[in-house]
Amino acid sequence: MQWAFQVVDGKIKNRRVLRVLEFNEKKLAEELTPAAKSAILGSYTNIEAARGEPSLFDYGSKQADT
């Protein structure tokens, strides 16, 4: 899954899924290109998460970069 969020006062806000890449081990889509992400988000910073890392739903109170 490719997703985006903002950090406001050290807390993650405004989580949004940009694209679902895989579901039940079935590939659904390719990752968005940097140009496509810029068109959607404007300015952004990538954070890479390896498989086995916390999911979109595990980040409720953890701090991360935007």
The tens digit of pLDDT for each residue in 10-36 reads: 888 888 899 999 998 899 999 999 999
pTM: 0.59
Q: What are phi and psi of 57, to 5 degrees?
A: -85, -5
36: alpha, beta or left? (left if phi > 0; alpha if psi -120 to 50): alpha
Break the chain into its structural domains and give their ranges.
2-58
CA nearest 15: which of 27, 3, 26, 24?
Answer: 3
CB atoms within 10 A of CB 21: 13
Q: Can you read off the two tokens belonging to residue 25? A: 């081990």
pLDDT at 32: 92
